[in-house]
Amino acid sequence: MILSVMTAGAQGTAVASTVPHIDFGNTAWMLVATALVMLMTIPGLALFYGGLVRRKNVLNILMQCLIATSVISIEWVVCGYSMTFGSSKGILAPFIGGFDWAFLKGIKINDVSPYFISQPTARIPHLLYVMYQCMFAVITPALIIGAFAERIKFKGYLLFIILWSLFVYNPVAHWMWSSDGWLLKMGAVDFAGGIVVHVNAGIAALITAVMLGKRKDYRNHAIPPHNIPFVVIGTALLWFGWFGFNAGSALAADGLSANAFLVTHLAAATAAFTWVMLDWIIGKKPTVVGICTGAVAGLATITPAAGFVDVAGTLFISVASSLVCFFMVAIVKPRLGYDDSLDAFGVHGIGGLLGSLATGLLATPVIQAAYSGAFYGNHKLFWTQLFAVFVTVVYSGVITFVLFKIVEKTVGVRANTKQEAMGLDETMHSENAYTDID
C-alpha cells in the first residue's frame, strides 16, 4: 500500500514537472503592467487630448476615451481576442483568427498563455494575457480621436471605432503578433505596437482628418488649447503608463523588461529635451505644449524598438523622433493644409513609422541574440520592416476609407455647423465642463 502510494506520487511529480506552470513573479508584474496600460487611455490620453481642445469640447474628448475603453473591451472579449490571437483554417489562417475563443470559451483560470513570442519562459495566466492585450486594443482607436477632435458626431464616432477595431486593428494585430500571422512569419518585428498601434492608428487618423474636412474656424495653425495643465498631467500619466506598454511587452519580470523600461524613459526624456531646443531656436521660446508633445513623440517612436535596441540606438531614435515629428507638425501640416487637430498622425503615425524602420537598422544582438539590424550586418530586417509598414499603411488607409464612407452613409459623421460652433459638450452630451456659480 505504502509502496503503491509512493510510486503514484513519484509519477504524479514527473507528470506535474512537464506541465507548464504559472510564474507568480511574472504574473505580478504583468498585472501591474496591464493596469498601467489602461491608465494610458483613461485618464492619460483623455487629459492630454482634453487639455488641447477648447473648453466647449473637453467633455466630448473625455467621453470618447471612456466609451472606447468600455465598448472595445466588450468587443475584445466577445470576439476581438479570438480574431486576433486565435487560429483559423485554410487561406484565412495567416490573415485573421477564428472564433474558437469567442467569449473566451475554453480558457480556464489556471491555463498558461500560449503566446510568448518575445519571452518563451514568461508563463503568465492566459486570462491575464487576454486583459493585457485588451488594453492595447482599447488605446489604438482612442489615439485616432486626436485627428477629428471638435467636429465628429458621437454616434458616428462610436460606430466607426467598433468597425475599425473589428476590420482594421484585429487583422493587423493578427499579422504581427499571432503565432500564425504572416508578417511575423516573414520576420517582421514589433515589440510593443509601433506598427500595430501607432502606424495603424496614425494612418487612420490622417484619412479621417482629410475626409471630415477642416474645423470651420481652422486657419492652418494651431488653435490654442484651453487647459495646458491638463496636457501636462496627461503627458505624465502617458509617460508613466508607457512603462507597462513597453516593459510589459517582454511578458516577464526580467532583463529584457528592464531594458525596455530604461530605453522607454530615456527616449521620452531625450525627445522632450530635443523638442524644447527646437521650440527655443525656431520659435524663440520653449513651450510647455512643446515639451509634452516631444515626450509623447519619443515614447511612440521607441515603442517598436524597445526590446531590440540599446542606449546608443535609443538616443539616435529619440533625437530623430523630435526632428521628424516637429517637421511634420510645424511645417508639413500647415503647408498641406489638413486639419489633424491634435497631431495624431504627425506624432503617433510618423513616430511609429520612424521607430519601426529604425528597428530594422539598430536592433542589436546584445539585447536579443536572435535579432540584428542593418547596422549590425542584417540588412534583411530593414527591408522586412519597410514592407510591413507599407502593407499596414495601405491596408489601414483603404479599409479606414471604406468604413468611414459606410458610417457617413448610415448614421453620419460630421457635426453640423451649429453643433460645432456651440461645442460638442453641449450639443452631444447636454453638459458643460465649467459652470459659473452665482
Q: Is 377 left (phi over 0), alpha (psi -120 to 50) or beta?
A: left
CB 245 within 8 A of CB 193: yes
Residues 6 or more apart whose Cβ sits within 8 Å of residue 214: 337, 338, 339
The stretch 100-120 carries a mean pLDDT of: 80
Q: How far apart (Å, rounded) are the C-alpha atoms in residues 343 and 146?
A: 6
- Per-residue pLDDT, 4: 38
Higher-pLDDT residue of 435 and 397 is 397
Confidence category of residue 76, pLDDT binned at 50, 70, 90? very high
- Per-residue pLDDT, 90: 74
Cell of 19: 506541465
Give the chain's mean pLDDT.
92
Question: In angstroms, what CA-CA distances link 146 with 46, 53, 143?
Answer: 10, 9, 6
pLDDT digits (tens, 9 = 90+) for 262-308: 999 999 999 999 999 999 999 999 999 999 999 999 999 999 999 99
Cell of 355: 521607430
Identify the CA nearest to 395 among candidates 209, 148, 201.
201
State residue 152 phi and psi, 5-degree precision: -115, 140
CB 428 within 8 A of CB 153: yes
Confidence category of residue 16, pLDDT binned at 50, 70, 90? very low
CB 347 within 8 A of CB 332: no
Q: Cα Rg for the chain, rounded, in angstroms?
A: 22
- Per-residue pLDDT, 229: 98
Q: How far apart (Å, rounded) are the C-alpha atoms in residues 426 and 411?
A: 20
The stretch 339-365 carries a mean pLDDT of: 97
Burial 248-268 (b: 16+ CB within 10 A, else e): bbbbbbeebbebbbbbbbbbb
Confidence category of residue 119, pLDDT binned at 50, 70, 90? low
Q: With helix as H, strand as E and coil as C, how does the chain read?
A: CHHHHHHHHHHHHHHHHHCCCCCHHHHHHHHHHHHHHHHHHHHHHHHHHHHHCCHHHHHHHHHHHHHHHHHHHHHHHHHHHHHHHCCCCHHHCCCCCCCCCHHHCCCCCCCECCCCCCCCCCCCEHHHHHHHHHHHHHHHHHHCHHHHCCCECHHHHHHHHHHHHHHHHHHHHHHHHCCCCHHHHHCCCCCCCHHHHHHHHHHHHHHHHHHHCCCCCCCCCCCCCCCHHHHHHHHHHHHHHHHHHHHHHHCCCCHHHHHHHHHHHHHHHHHHHHHHHHHHHHHCCCCHHHHHHHHHHHHHHHHHHCCCCCHHHHHHHHHHHHHHHHHHHHHHHHHHCCCCCCCHHHHHHHHHHHHHHHHHHHCCCCCCCCCCCHHHCCHHHHHHHHHHHHHHHHHHHHHHHHHHHHHHHHCCCECCHHHHHHCHHHHHHCCCCCCCCC
The stretch 224-237 carries a mean pLDDT of: 97
- Per-residue pLDDT, 120: 57
Q: Locate cell 495653425: which residue? A: 221
How many residues make up the chain in this entry?
A: 438
Q: How far apart (Å, rounded) are the C-alpha atoms in residues 337 and 318?
A: 27
pLDDT digits (tens, 9 = 90+) for 193-222: 999 999 999 999 999 999 999 998 887 777
* pLDDT value at 20 more than 60: yes
Share of the chain above pLDDT 70, in %: 93
In order of their start, the domains of the chain are 20-429 (1.10.3430.10)
The stretch 74-97 carries a mean pLDDT of: 90
Confidence category of residue 114, pLDDT binned at 50, 70, 90? confident
- Per-residue pLDDT, 345: 97
The stretch 231-236 carries a mean pLDDT of: 98
pLDDT digits (tens, 9 = 90+) for 307-325: 999 999 999 999 999 999 9
pLDDT digits (tens, 9 = 90+) for 367-390: 999 999 999 999 999 999 999 999
* pLDDT value at 99 more than 80: yes
pLDDT digits (tens, 9 = 90+) for 28-70: 999 999 999 999 999 999 999 999 999 999 999 999 999 999 9
pLDDT digits (tens, 9 = 90+) for 349-360: 999 999 999 999
Confidence category of residue 3, pLDDT binned at 50, 70, 90? very low
- Per-residue pLDDT, 437: 58
Confidence category of residue 425, pLDDT binned at 50, 70, 90? very high
Q: How far apart (Å, rounded) are the C-alpha atoms in residues 355 and 199?
A: 10
Opening angle at CA 91, ends 86 and 92, nearest 5: 35
